[in-house]
Structures are given as structure tokens and as C-alpha cells.
A and B are shown apart, each in its own frame.
Chain A
């Protein structure tokens, strides 16, 4: 587990391997959102540094590495490019209403769910997949998507709901 090695042993070789795998993807993500090359490189590098500093907060039972990196990259680009604060849920907040702990078999399923999610994503009707991609890669809320595509708001909502329902059925709760 590379992130573990980074967290517990401060293993630079493990970090370098994560860097090679993730840096080009994170930069591609920020470029897709409309940043110029220099800004995208800067944001992506910041994300890599955060990965080094926050490695001990990564919980493999809760999320895949790419999901964890996605959330760091998303927050960082809101912070650096939109210059806004990203309000987040603190899992250690005393105000948090706790969830029932997942059963052991659910955890195993969760670990295997990445591939199923990818397959489900490829199986989405193109008009649904397009709206999902716009939300993630164009910084557009669903109402902004409706405005940009000239689709009625109700159509955008129902397509998003259909897509989410379909994707959710592919992964365990």
C-alpha cells in the first residue's frame, strides 16, 4: 500500500511512484476545468504536496486512493482558482450524526466496487454521461448546465437522477 508507506515510513520512493501515476491525471483534471498550463501544473503540484502531508488521514476502508486524491484536487482548485473556501464535513466533528458501522462483507464489496463503477459509467446513455462530466469538469452546477445546454431544468434534473440511480445500483451502500 503506497499511501501507507508514505504515511508511516515517510517513504520517498513510494511517494515518487504515486507522483508518477497521479500528477499527470490531476493536472489533466485541472486543465479540463479551464486553467492554463502553468496554473494547472501549480495546482497539481500543491495536490501532490498535500498527499505527502496528509497521507496519515487516508483511510483505505473509506475510499480508494483516486477518490481521496480527487477530493483533495477538487478542494485545492476551488481554493486556488475560484478563491473560495470549500466547506467540508469533518468526520471527527462532535456534531456529526454517526452512521451504523458497515458490515465486514460490505467493506470487501466496497473495495471491489471501483471496477463495477467504471463499467456502469461506460454503460450510461451518452446524454446522461455528458451531464455528469459537465458537473465534474466544467465547474457547472445543474442549473448552470441547463443554461449552457438549453435543456429545461427538469430534464437536467431527471437525467442526473437517472444516472445517479444507475451508478448507485452498481456499488454497495
Chain B
């Protein structure tokens, strides 16, 4: 079976945020995930990085310390620091199969592929694994929606980004499968429903906690940090 390319993509402004290095950590994680699965957006992002190269070239050069070059040359033979940087990868504890479900950026974050995750139940048929918590209630997490289950109807206080990793879901705006990105803002009130033939696993980045809007769920709002 041929691997299908995604049909729902992030917008240019999101790719620019990522290429320029201005995206939040959670959004960058989601975009790196989509880019791993989307050759078309990879080409776009590469063009934006080329733009970054051009902009650096056009900057007036800054004055550097007189001995900067000497000091740098002297450091060339120094042993490489053990951890190359704070972005050094987390040790991958579980062996990764030849066709991992999670792209590298996510595997580095969770320490292995999807079977490494510890899910915690949120609601019936919906589990989550929290990855990053940011300021103002921003959260990045993996969600698992059991086959045929729906996420409670909700709107959004900030923008919500979802990238599908396995299975698929549908809402008013269409069907989303592996690699597809759904972006919802305040104006979107939706109830994503997982495909009937398998669990849907996706990466979700929310800028602020979502607000439940269904009649019943609205009562739960103060209690459920969904």
C-alpha cells in the first residue's frame, strides 16, 4: 500500500515561525512531526531557512574580539563536550522498530516509540500523555481516542494544533489521517470523532485550556482540565 502524503497542512505563517526559530517549543515539536511526514512542507520550510541564510548574509557584520579567531582555533582540538547541548537527546530506552510510529523529535522526547508511553485516562475512551507544559496553561500532549469515540464538543481559548500519528478522526472540516494537521481557533466549535476501525493517536498543542461547550460537558468545565 503506498504511503499517502498528508492533505491538511499548517499555514505559511506557522512554517515561518518554525523556520525562523520563533515557534514555541510545543508548536515546534508538532511542526517537526508534520515535516517528517510531509515532503511538500519540508520543501517550503527549507526555502524559508534559505531566507534565513540570506538575511544573515545581509546583516552588517558585528565587531568581534581581536583574539576570537585564535581562541576558537585553540578550541578545535578540545574534546567534544559530553552532552553536545541541552537539546541532546533523551536516552532511547526501548528499541525502535524499522518503521516507528513516532517521528524522531517525538521519540527523543518520550524515550522511545509509542509503546514507551504511559497513558492516563482523561474521559471515557480518551487518554493522554503530557509532554510539555508552557506558560499560560499551554500544553503539548499525545492523545489517544479509542475507535469510534468522540472527544467532547469544545471551542478554544487559544489556537489548538493537532497532528495525527495513527488512525484518523473526522469533524466538521473533514477527515484527518496520519500526518494531517488540524488548526482550530476561537471560532471553531467541534467534536472530533475517531474512525471506527482503530484508535486514533495524535499530538495536540493547545495555547490555553479548551472550553467545553456541550450542554452536559459545560457543567463539568470547572472540574475537567481537558
Which A residues are closer than 8 A to B by beta carbons? 12, 15-16, 19-20, 23-29, 31-32, 40-41, 44-45, 48-49, 52-53, 62-71, 73-80, 83-90, 93-100, 113-114, 117-118, 121, 132-133, 135-144, 156-157, 160-161, 164-165, 167-168, 171, 173
Q: A41-B65, A141-B24, A164-B12 are in contact. Are A97 and B86 (CB under 8 A)?
A: no
B25 at the interface (CB under 8 A from A): yes
A121 touches B54 (CB 8 A): yes
In the bound complex, what is the Cα–Cα distance between A52 and B58 (angstroms)?
Answer: 23
Residues of A within 8 A of B96 (CB): 94
> Chain B nearest CB: distance from A82 CB in Å?
8
Partner of A29, one of B49, B59, B100: B59
Partner of B42, one of A53, A85, A99, A135: A99
In the bound complex, what is the Cα–Cα distance between A70 and B45 (angstroms)?
Answer: 13
Q: Helix, strand, loop or mixed for chain B's interface?
A: helix
Residues of A within 8 A of B62 (CB): 24-25, 27-28, 31, 40
> Chain B nearest CB: distance from A152 CB in Å?
13
Residue of B nearest to A49 (CB): B75
Residues of B within 8 A of A93 (CB): 36, 100, 103-104
Residues of B within 8 A of A64 (CB): 50, 53
* Interface-facing stretch out of B13-21, B167-175, B212-220: B13-21
Residue of A nearest to B65 (CB): A41
Residues of B within 8 A of A31 (CB): 62
B51 touches A95 (CB 8 A): no
Q: A16-B73, A164-B12 are in contact. Are A95 and B50 (CB under 8 A)?
A: no
Q: A45-B72, A167-B47 are in contact. Are A99 and B54 (CB under 8 A)?
A: no
> Chain B nearest CB: distance from A86 CB in Å?
5
B50 touches A63 (CB 8 A): yes
Residues of B within 8 A of A164 (CB): 12, 16, 44, 48
Q: Helix, strand, loop or mixed for chain A's interface?
A: helix
Q: A79-B85, A89-B36, A97-B37 are in contact. Are A25 and B54 (CB under 8 A)?
A: no
Could you mark each residue 117-139 of chain B with 1 if its beta carbon is under 8 Å from any beta carbon of chain A, else 0?
00000000000000000000000
> Chain A nearest CB: distance from B201 CB in Å?
13
B82 at the interface (CB under 8 A from A): no
In the bound complex, what is the Cα–Cα distance between A88 and B6 (angstroms)?
Answer: 19
B86 touches A85 (CB 8 A): yes
Residues of A within 8 A of B105 (CB): 87-90
Residues of B within 8 A of A32 (CB): 59
In the bound complex, what is the Cα–Cα distance between A87 and B96 (angstroms)?
Answer: 18
Partner of A168, one of B25, B44, B58, B109: B44
> Chain A nearest CB: distance from B128 CB in Å?
19
Partner of B61, one of A28, A66, A140, A143: A28
Partner of A23, one of B5, B58, B69: B69
Q: A12-B76, A24-B64, A168-B47 are in contact. Are A139 and B22 (CB under 8 A)?
A: yes
